[in-house]
Amino acid sequence: MMRQYELVERVTRYDPDADEDLLNRAYVYAMRAHGNQTRASGEAYFNHPLEVAAILTEMKLDSATIAAALLHDTVEDTEATQAEIEEKFGPEIASLVDGLTKIAKLDLVTREAAQAENLRKLLLAMSRDVRVLLVKLADRLHNMRTLEHVKPEKRLRIAQETMDIYAPLAGRMGMQAVRDELEDIAFKVLNPEACKIVIDRLAKLHAESGGILKSIEQELTQKLVENGIKAEVHGREKRPYSIFRKMERKLLSLGQLSDIFGFRVIVGTVDQCYRALGIIHRTYRAVPGRFKDYISTPKQNDYRSIHTTVIGPHHMRVEMQIRTRLMHEIAERGVAAHAIYKDAPDAKEALDGFRAPAAESNAYRWLRHLVEMLQEGESPREFLEHTKLELFHDQVFCFTPKGKLIALPRGATPIDFAYAVHTSVGDSCVGAKVNGSHAPLVTELRNGDEVEIIRSEAQTPPAAWEGLAVTGKARAAIRRATRAAARKQFAGLGHEIVQKMLAKIGKTYVPKEMAAAIARVGLRNVDDALAAIGRGELSAIDMLKAMGHTIDDTKLRELRRRPPAKKTDPDLSVPVRGVARTTALRISPETGAVPGERIVGILMPGEGITIYPIFARALEQFDNQPERWVDLAWDTGAEEQRFPARLTVTILNEVGSLAQMTQSISDLGGNIDALQMVAREGARDFYDVDITIEVHDLRHLNEIMTSLRGKPAVSDVSRKTG
């Protein structure tokens, strides 16, 4: 346990004018008041207020706040009275302690009405003096750090309340460090499996690239020094919960999440921030569209920094945050930093403005605004709505026609809404009405929308929906449903194959016979076997043999002749959604297919699935076999991967034409995979070039096609349709 003199010393180190006498009196008073009380962990209760005070010394807060922290549980939990506190410590401290006492027992995760009323009390108490909020957050932080000693049910409730109210509140107040720690502890309690997966993955990544972080740190520091900028460069890992949230929001798997590592570059002045940015962009390749200047446009919670993402060594994407020391303090400590720094950049000078903490900051203004609204007497329900909207600015709140509140992440669509109501509602969703009128399923929902889901039991969710959904729940359910549907299709196909083969040897299909032979092919049931045959993983002839049918050699040769199960190296790495990972996939060699264009899969008996772009002529032959069509969608994010596309380019029959064409393609980063000249009938001035190029996606392909069309030697460019 921290000693009395240690606490006082901590405060006087950053505030030499601190009221030592006040700190000493508060320490002794609280220690006596808590007497022999113990905490759930068995340690002396007084250790808790002491730790809370210690957290606040890290934020360098004034002696009144530290004293209030020491006293914060005395009126609530001991014989001490409000009157006594006022008499011994004066009105300022008494008012802080009073605020803390009032909010001590507020339960913020109960029924909606009570929750609204309690949240209202909480904000009201905190808005009188922002230091109440600071002590409360430190109090919660220490309680979270010692949460393992609390009984399981209570632990869950506290963690939920922290995730719902206190962490967003800390974030809204700009106290990033507190928010991160609160979220990570709550995440571990509320979702232990997900938390473990993220942490394990982080450990693995760290082991693989730990050395790189150090080398980038050194390289960057060196580069900056060479350019006359003294900077602190720190490599850092994203926090587990912030990674998890990003995965949920951006629809990424852990493997796809590339910018897990980040760097903070802390420099002296704003001018140096921009110069450092220039140096970073000259040293590493910048990822387009990832540059954000929160210095010229600060966030609502006063956060200022420049963000950019670059491609570091080993093709690793790393995020850089560039800021001054003062911006860094504010980013980490928010309102608490304002309390000291207020307007003056020099810390010592700023301490003079200490007694009017944070009055000027945006974050504090927000709190004030909420309270003004309270005083205008809104109903608790309205208030809760408004507060939640303000507090959780990355969420939207929508309603079912019966008025049930459904909270969704920003960017959510009616599909997410449907799955949030119930998986069966999502699976059978065919349309939606938003606020009474029909709306496309891609509509981004807004706060307060009333959403009615139109259902049909015959529906299976198309794979493409996975890209429209934002929530993990919806995406997982769609994946499950589309996989189940594809499996059913394969089983149907397998059934057809088995029936035809049996007919050829003069037998009929009897499900019971097949069931009896299942063990012999190492599968669990008839459906599995039929699906395996449909996918080509199990030969139908082997199945027939397992069923006890004897097939003589001539018959066998005949059966093998048709269908000619040509194994054309299926590519398991084609990134599409809508089928199981184990399904063999190939892109139609006649047309190629690239991410960004609409694709469909066709079940090929015994081969897996062939992927066609929707315009492929080959698809016409399957028009009457809807059971063979599989709805697929690209699973984008694989940036380095390339995909084939076949083009016909009509060029002038003259020297240099071909070179002009190939140069233009390679200038734009396209790979030429195959090229063939085809003479044009009756047109000797031109000839056609049939060319297969490899590109990243549809945009890349279009760029190349546009550039080709602009070449004088090129008269026409088109996609091959098959």
Nearest to 544 by CA among 511, 514, 510: 514
> Does 73 help bind Mn ion (rule: CB under 5 A)?
yes
Work out the number of other CB atoms within 10 angstroms of the CB of residue 718: 12
**Three-state secondary structure along 476-533?**
HHHHHHHHHHHHHHHHHHHHHHHHHHHHHCCCCCCHHHHHHHHHHHCCCCHHHHHHHH
176: phi then psi, degrees, rounded to nearest 5: -65, -40
Q: How far is CA 17 from CA 11, 71, 348, 353, in A?
A: 9, 21, 11, 13
Work out the number of other CB atoms within 10 angstroms of the CB of residue 302: 23
Nearer to Mn ion, 73 or 697 (CB): 73
Nearest to 415 by CA among 436, 430, 402, 435: 430
Nearest to 707 by CA among 650, 651, 667, 654: 667
* 3-class secondary structure, 260: coil
Interface segment toward Mn ion; rule CB under 5 A; list 73-81, 108-116, 401-409, 453-461: 73-81
Nearer to Mn ion, 155 or 598 (CB): 155
Q: Which amino acid is at 272?
A: Q
DSSP 8-state class, residue 444: P
CA-CA distance, 644 to 665, in Å (whole number)? 14
> Does 329 help bind Mn ion (rule: CB under 5 A)?
no
CB of 85 to Mn ion, least distance (A): 15
Identify the helix (H) or strand (E) that includes residue 158.
helix 152-161
CB of 285 to Mn ion, least distance (A): 50
CB of 2 to Mn ion, least distance (A): 16
Do 599 and 634 contact (CB within 8 A), yes or no? Answer: yes
Give the nearest residue (CB) to Mn ion: 139
CB of 76 to Mn ion, least distance (A): 8
CA-CA distance, 383 to 398, in Å (whole number)? 16
Interface segment toward Mn ion; rule CB under 5 A; list 54-62, 139-147, 600-608, 657-665: 139-147
Interface segment toward Mn ion; rule CB under 5 A; list 66-74, 367-375, 673-681, 698-706: 66-74
Catalytic site residue from 77, 450, 528, 590: 77
- Is 372 an annotated catalytic residue? no
Nearer to Mn ion, 139 or 694 (CB): 139
How many chain residues are in contact with Mn ion, going by CB under 5 A? Answer: 2
Nearer to Mn ion, 122 or 216 (CB): 122
Interface segment toward Mn ion; rule CB under 5 A; list 15-23, 133-141, 287-295, 439-447: 133-141
Nearer to Mn ion, 78 or 702 (CB): 78
CB of 125 to Mn ion, least distance (A): 14
> Does 697 help bind Mn ion (rule: CB under 5 A)?
no
Nearer to Mn ion, 93 or 316 (CB): 93
User: Which residues ranging from 344 to 363 are in contact with Mn ion (CB under 5 A)?
Assistant: none
Interface segment toward Mn ion; rule CB under 5 A; list 9-17, 136-144, 672-680, 708-716: 136-144
Q: Kindly state the greatest CA–CA separation across the chain.
A: 108
Do 363 and 390 contact (CB within 8 A), yes or no? Answer: no
Note the residue count of the chain. 722
Interface segment toward Mn ion; rule CB under 5 A; list 68-76, 223-231, 265-273, 388-396: 68-76
CB of 72 to Mn ion, least distance (A): 6
Enter the tokens of residue 209.
């690239």
> Does 139 help bind Mn ion (rule: CB under 5 A)?
yes
CB of 439 to Mn ion, least distance (A): 48
Nearer to Mn ion, 40 or 389 (CB): 40
Nearer to Mn ion, 75 or 514 (CB): 75
Residue 563, preceding bond cis, omega within 30 degrees?
Answer: yes
CA-CA distance, 711 to 125, in Å (whole number)? 71
Nearer to Mn ion, 143 or 305 (CB): 143
> Does 631 help bind Mn ion (rule: CB under 5 A)?
no
Percentages (nearest 5) of helix, strand, coil residues in the chain: 55, 15, 30
DSSP 8-state class, residue 644: E
CA-CA distance, 611 to 602, in Å (whole number)? 7
Strand pairing of 599-604 and 629-631?
Answer: antiparallel
CB of 73 to Mn ion, least distance (A): 5
CB of 152 to Mn ion, least distance (A): 20
CA-CA distance, 256 to 238, in Å (whole number)? 15
DSSP symbols for 430-453? EEEEETTEEE-TTPPP-TT-BEEE
* 3-class secondary structure, 237: strand
User: Which residues ranging from 260 to 279 are in contact with Mn ion (CB under 5 A)?
Assistant: none
Q: Is the dihedral of CA 507, 509, 515, 517 positive or negative?
A: positive
Interface segment toward Mn ion; rule CB under 5 A; list 67-75, 266-274, 491-499, 535-543: 67-75
Nearer to Mn ion, 125 or 616 (CB): 125
CA-CA distance, 422 to 455, in Å (whole number)? 12
Catalytic site residue from 76, 293, 378, 590: 76
Interface segment toward Mn ion; rule CB under 5 A; list 71-79, 208-216, 312-320, 683-691: 71-79
* 3-class secondary structure, 720: coil
DSSP symbols for 78-116? SS--HHHHHHHHHHHHHHHHHHHHHHHT--SSS-HHHHH
CB of 448 to Mn ion, least distance (A): 36
CB of 41 to Mn ion, least distance (A): 14
- Is 76 an annotated catalytic residue? yes
Nearer to Mn ion, 32 or 196 (CB): 32
Give the binding site for Mn ion (CB under 5 A): 73, 139
Enzyme catalytic residues:
76-77
